[in-house]
Amino acid sequence: MWVGTPVIFTGLSLGSFYALIALGFSLILGIARAFNLAHGEMILLSGYLAFVLWHYFQVPFVFILLICSLVLVWVTIPLNYLLRRLPEPYGLNTLIVTLGLALLLQNLFLAWFSADYRLMTPAWPMVNVPWLNFSFPLHQGVLIVLALLVTGAVHLLLQGTFLGKALRATIQDREAAQMAGINVQRLSLAAFGLGGLLIGLAGPLFAQNMYLYPAAGVEATMIAIVVTIFAGLGRIRNILLGGWLLGLTQSATIFALGSRWRELVSAVLLLLLLYFRPQGFSLKKEG
Amino acid sequence: MAASAAQVCLELRQNKKFFGDRTILRGISFCLEVGEILGLIGPNGAGKTTLFNIISGWQKPAAGSVIFLGQETNTWPPERLSRAGLARTFQSPQIFPEMCALENVLMGAWLRQEHPPLPEAQEEAAYCLSLVGLMDKGQTPVRELPLPQQRLVELARALATRPRLLLLDEIAAGFSQAALNRLAAGLLKLRDQGLTLLLTDHLFTLLEAVTDRVLALDHGEIIAQGPPADLIRHPEVISAYLGTRYCSNANNGGA
Amino acid sequence: MGKINSSQLAAAAGVLLLAVWPLIFRNQVQFHQVLGMTCLYAILALAWNIYALSGAISLGHTAFFGLGAYASALLNHHYHWSPLCTMPLGALAAVVFAVFWSLGFRRLRGVYLGLASLAAVEIPKTIVDNWDQLTYGSMGIVGLDRLPTLTIGGVEMDFGLNVTAQYYLLLGIMLLALLLHWKCIRSRWGWTLRVIRENETAAAALGIDSNRERAKALMLSSYLAGIAGALYAHIMGLVEPALVFNLHLSVLPLVFSIFGGSTMVFGPVLGALILYPLEQLFLMPLFPMGHSALYGLVIILTIFFFPKGIAAWLPAPPKSV
C-alpha cells in the first residue's frame, strides 16, 4: 500500500466532517449576520446528548442523528430571538454574546460531564479495498458520503427552491433583499432552524470521530470560521472544497510533523485568509 | 520658488480612475489658486465624489498626478494630507457620535499637529462653532442633531484644524434658504482670511452665491468651466445637468 | 485645581478600603489570596482595556500574558536571574508579539480583528508547546523563584510566601496600572484614542494615523499584560502552556472591562473587584465544577441590559475637557 493513501483518505474524511461542521455556521452568518462563537459548543451539546443516548439508552445511531438534529433546532431558534434584540454594533455584539454563551456551555459541560474525555465507539466494521490494499473503518467512509449528501441537499435547497432564492438574495445583499420585499426576519428564523438541524447532525459525528471534552468546541468553531471564510458566504460547494483542503492539510501536517501541530494548521490558515481578505466573509469589495 | 507657482494651491494633471471596466474619471486637469473658491457640479455619478476622494487621499488615481502646495501627493494617505493643511467634509457626515458638538470641534483644534494648549484650543473650538452658528448646540450630543447641523459641526471641526484648502462635499444638502445664505456669507468671509475652497453641490444655489469659477463634470470629464452665471447658460451643461436639477429638487425632502 | 469632587472622594475611599481590608480580616489566608489574584486580573483587564480604548476588541490577550510568563520563567530558569529583573524584561516578549500583531492585523477591524486575535494565540502556544529543549513542552517549567523578600522602610516583606505582603504588592502594581490607564483616557493622546474608537474616517480627516496610534496602545497594553503574566509565573512558581495560554485568560479581562465600563477610568478594576471574588469566594464552594459559567452569564446580561457597564450608573465625573 502506498503510504499516501491513508493520509489522503483520513484527510478527505476529516475534511468532509469539517464541511459538515461549517455548514450551519455559514448559513447562520450569511443570512442572519450573526457570528456564532458558541457554534462548537452547540455541536458538543449535541455530541454529549448523542453520547448519553448511546451509552445509557443504547439508541441506534440513525435515531441518535434524528433526535439530536431535532433537539438542536430547539436550541438555535431561541438563540435567533435572543440575538435579534442585540443593540448595535450588531456583528461585534453577536460575537461577544455568543462568546459568553460558549463559556456558559463549557462550564455546564464541566459540571455535568466533568473534564473527562469521552468517545462514542459503536462497533463499525472495517471496510477493505482490495485493489488499493487498504482498509478503513466504516464510520470514516460514512462521513464522506454524509457530507456529500448534506451539502448536495443544501445546495439544491438554495438553487432549486423559492425559499432558496430568497435565502441567496439575503446572503448577497441583505438591505436590497429587504427592499425587494423579502421578510429577512423570517428567513433568519429559517436559517437558525436549518443551522440547528445541521449542528445537531454534526454532534453525533463529532462524538464518534473526535473526543468529547468541555473545551473541545473551540477548535470546532475555529474550523467553521476558517472554512466559511475560505468558501465565501453562500458558496455551498466551496464549503465542501474548503473542508477537504483543511482536512488534507491537517492530515499531511500530522503525517509529517506529528499531531501536536494540528491545531496550529487551522489557526495559521485563518490568519493567512484574513491577511489576504481583510473584509472577511463579505462578498462585496470595499470602496 | 517663483511667485506665480506659490499662488497655486492645488493642481490636478490628467487624473484617471477606473472601477472594473467602467471609467469614472477620464483625464481631469485643473488648477486652483490660493484664495479661490471653485465649484464643481455634475449629475449623480459624474465623478465628483471620486475626484474629492482622490484629492484628499482616500482613493488613488489610476493615472495622473495631484499637486498640493507644490508637492505631489498621489500616494499620500488621507491623514498625511490633512496634516499638510487639507481639510474636508463628507457627503454623509463623519462625526464622533458619543461626543457633544463642542467636543467634536475641539478635537479638530486640540489634536492638530501643532498641539496647542488646551485652553487655547477650547477658545478656538468655541469660535469655530460660533462661525457656523451652532453655539447654542455646543453641549448637545451630535448624534442627536439633524443631518444638516451635523454637517455644520463637521465644517466647524474642519475649520478648527486651520486648513489651507477646504473641500466641502454637498455641505448644503437639506439646508433652508436662510441657512444657505448664512453659510454663503460665512464661506466668503473665510476666503477673505486666505482660505481656498473647493465645493460640490448638485443644487446650484450655493455655488452661484459664493464661487468664482465652476467646473461642470459629466461622465468623468470636464465639459465646461467658467463663472457660475455663464455656466448656467452653457448648452452642454444644461443638457447634462440642469435636466436633473428639477428631479433633485423634487427629491430633496427625502435626501 | 485644589477642588475635590465626589468621584475623587469615592476613588480615595475605595483605595483606602482596599488598603485596610486585609487588616480587618486578619489570618484569612484564602481571602487575601483571592484579593491578590483579583488585583492581578485587574491589571490584565486594564491592559486589555488600553487596547479597547482604541476601538479594538481583542480575544487573544492570553498570548501576551503567556509570553510574559514564559519569557520571565525562561530567564529565571536558565540564567537564574532574579524575578525583579526577569519580569520587566520578560514582558518585552509580549511587546515583540504585539509588533507582529500590529503589522499583520493592520487592515482588520471589528469582528475580523477579534477572530484573528483568537487564532493568533495558537502561534506562541504551539511553539512553546513543542520546543521541548527550551520550554520542556507541555510539561511546563516548575520550581521558579518566588517573588523576593524586600525590606521596605524597615519592614521585611516576604512577597513570595506571605500572601498579605503579596496582596499589597499586587495592589500597588494595580494602582500604577490604573494610573497609566487614567492617563490613557484623560490626556491628549487619550482623546486621540477616543477619536479613533468613535470614527476612524473622521480621525484620519483630522490627521490622525489610526494604525500607528492603535499600535502604540497595543504596545502599552501588551507590556502590561506581559507583566501580569510574569507576576503570575513567579507567584505560582510554575508555568504550563495550558495554564498561561488559555482562552479563559482572554475572556476574563473582556468580561471585567465591559461589565465594569470599558470607557471609564475605574471600569475594568470595578469589574474585577466585583466578579472575581464573587466567583472564587461564593460560587466555587457551591459549584466546584463550572463556576466560571458566571462570566458567560455576566457578559451576556451586560451586552443586553447595560452595554456601557455598571460604571455608567455611577455619578458622572465633571468633564475634564
Please state the domain extents for chain A: 4-114+136-276
Residue A121 CB-half CA count within 13 A: 4
The reply to whether B66 and B144 lie within a common domain is: no
pLDDT for the residue numbered A200: 93
The answer, yes or no, to whether residue B245 has pLDDT greater than 80, is no
Classify residue B20: in a domain, yes or no.
yes
Chain A residues touching residue C251 (CB < 8 angstroms): 99, 103
The reply to whether B11 and B78 lie within a common domain is: yes
pLDDT for the residue numbered A286: 37
Chain C residues touching residue A107 (CB < 8 angstroms): 289-293, 296
The reply to whether B153 and B205 lie within a common domain is: no
In contact, C181 and C46? CB cutoff 8 Å: yes
Q: Which residue has the cell 456529500?
A: A148
Residue in B96, B120, B142 to test binding to C, most C beta-carbons within 10 Å: B96
Classify residue B26: in a domain, yes or no.
yes
Asked if the Cβ–Cβ distance from A104 to C104 is below 8 Å, we say: no
The reply to whether B58 and B126 lie within a common domain is: no
Judged by average pLDDT, the poorest of B118-127, B202-211, C54-63 is B202-211
Residue C289, C-alpha cell as written in the block = 465544577
Taking one residue from A and the other from C, the number of pairs with CB-CB distance under 8 angstroms is 125
Q: Please give the share of chain A, as a percent, with pLDDT higher than 70.
A: 96
Q: Hey, CA dihedral for C212, C214, C216, C218, is it positive or negative? A: negative
Closest CA to B105 of B133, B147, B79: B133
The model's pLDDT over C239-266, given as tens digits with 9 standing for 90+, comes to 999 999 999 999 999 999 999 999 888 8
Q: Quick check: helix, strand or coil at residue C153? A: coil
The answer, yes or no, to whether residue A121 has pLDDT greater than 90, is no
- Taken as a whole, chain C contains a residue count of 321
Residue of C nearest to A224 (CA): C115
Q: Quick check: helix, strand or coil at residue A88? A: coil
Question: Is residue C293 less than 8 Å (CB to CB) from chain A?
Answer: yes
Report DSSP letters for B207-245, one per residue. HHHH-SEEEEEETTEEEEEE-HHHHTT-HHHIIIIIHHH
Confidence of residue B254 (pLDDT cuts 50, 70, 90): very low
- Rounded Cα gap, residues B107 and B129, in angstroms: 12
Residue of C nearest to B143 (CA): C198
Entry pTM: 0.89
Question: Is residue B127 less than 8 Å (CB to CB) from chain C?
Answer: no
Residue of C nearest to A86 (CA): C304
The reply to whether B5 and B108 lie within a common domain is: no
The answer, yes or no, to whether residue A152 has pLDDT greater than 60, is yes
Q: What value does the mean pLDDT of chain B take? A: 83
Classify residue B60: in a domain, yes or no.
yes
The reply to whether B129 and B150 lie within a common domain is: yes
How many CB atoms lie under 10 A from the CB of residue A144? 18
**H-helix or E-strand containing B167?**
strand B165-169
Classify residue B238: in a domain, yes or no.
no
Interfacial A residues in 213-242 facing C (CB < 8 Å): 215, 218, 222, 225
Question: For chain B, what is the domain count?
Answer: 2
The reply to whether B132 and B201 lie within a common domain is: no
Higher-confidence residue of B203 and A16: namely: A16
Classify residue B28: in a domain, yes or no.
yes
- Amino acid sitting at position A68: C
Which ipTM was obtained for this model?
0.87
Chains touching B by CB (3 or more pairs below 8 Å): C
Residue B119's domain comprises 95-162
Residue B207: phi, psi to the nearest 5?
-60, -40
Interfacial A residues in 16-55 facing C (CB < 8 Å): 35
- Among C104, C109, C296, whose Cβ lies nearest the Cβ of A101? C296
Question: Is residue A99 less than 8 Å (CB to CB) from chain C?
Answer: yes
The model's pLDDT over A36-80, given as tens digits with 9 standing for 90+, comes to 999 999 999 999 999 999 888 888 888 888 999 999 999 999 998
Confidence of residue B21 (pLDDT cuts 50, 70, 90): low
Classify residue B251: in a domain, yes or no.
no
Domain borders along chain C are 29-246
Task: Taking residues C33-46, report their average pLDDT.
Answer: 94
In contact, C300 and A101? CB cutoff 8 Å: yes
- Rounded Cα gap, residues C135 and C125, in angstroms: 11
CA A106 from centroid of its chain's CA atoms = 17
Give B86→chain C minimum CA distance, Å.
9
Chains touching C by CB (3 or more pairs below 8 Å): A, B
Confidence of residue C94 (pLDDT cuts 50, 70, 90): very high
Task: Taking residues A186-199, report their average pLDDT.
Answer: 89
CATH number (domain holding residue B214) = 3.40.50.300
Question: Is residue A85 less than 8 Å (CB to CB) from chain C?
Answer: yes
How many CB atoms lie under 10 A from the CB of residue B3? 6
The reply to whether B158 and B172 lie within a common domain is: no
Q: Which residue has the cell 448656467?
A: B232
Chain A residues touching residue C101 (CB < 8 angstroms): none
- Among C199, C207, C210, whose Cβ lies nearest the Cβ of B96? C199
The reply to whether B154 and B175 lie within a common domain is: no
Give C138→chain A minimum CA distance, Å.
10
In contact, C135 and C141? CB cutoff 8 Å: yes
- Rounded Cα gap, residues B53 and B65, in angstroms: 13
Classify residue B130: in a domain, yes or no.
yes
The model's pLDDT over C303-321, given as tens digits with 9 standing for 90+, comes to 999 988 887 777 665 454 4
pLDDT for the residue numbered C232: 95
The reply to whether B12 and B76 lie within a common domain is: yes
Asked if the Cβ–Cβ distance from C195 to B96 is below 8 Å, we say: yes
The reply to whether B2 and B81 lie within a common domain is: yes
